Amino acid sequence: MTLASLMTESVQILRRTDGDDFDEVPTFPLVATVSAFVGRMDTTETVSGRDQVVADYGFMFPAGTDVRPYDRLVHLGRTFEVVGLPAPAIKPGAGEQFRSVKAKWVEG
């Protein structure tokens, strides 16, 4: 089994674009749709004060995928926020094998 064979989910990458004015709300235009492996890492639920569910996911993208902090990812109708820096997984002597990205989904 290859890494590429695990990347069966379609994920849209939306890039944050700030306006010239500080009061302008950022937009998130679509920059790419790529195949990825998607796995849920952790989930929590808060019911005091307001109902809220938070889920942490891990995404594995093909090597060289242009995904950045502040990007948003859309998978199965849910929009995730990229958390931290996407990291290349490098095999010594062979270069980047895939790009690892952590993202968060929040509802409520």
| Interval 19-55: pLDDT, tens | 666 667 889 999 999 999 999 887 776 666 667 788 8
Task: Look up the pTM and report it.
Answer: 0.85
Domains contained in the chain, number: 1
CB 14 within 8 A of CB 20: no
> Is the model's pLDDT at 8 over the cut of 70?
yes
Percent of the chain with pLDDT over 70: 88
CATH number for the domain spanning 14: value is 2.40.10.370
CA torsion 92-95-100-101 (nearest 10°) is 130
User: What's the Cα-to-Cα distance from 1 to each of 6, 31, 99, 102, rounded to whole Å?
Assistant: 8, 29, 18, 23
Structural domain boundaries, residue 99: 3-107
d(CA 102, CA 89): 13
Between strands 72-75 and 9-14, the pairing is: antiparallel
Cβ neighbours of 62 (radius 10 Å): 16
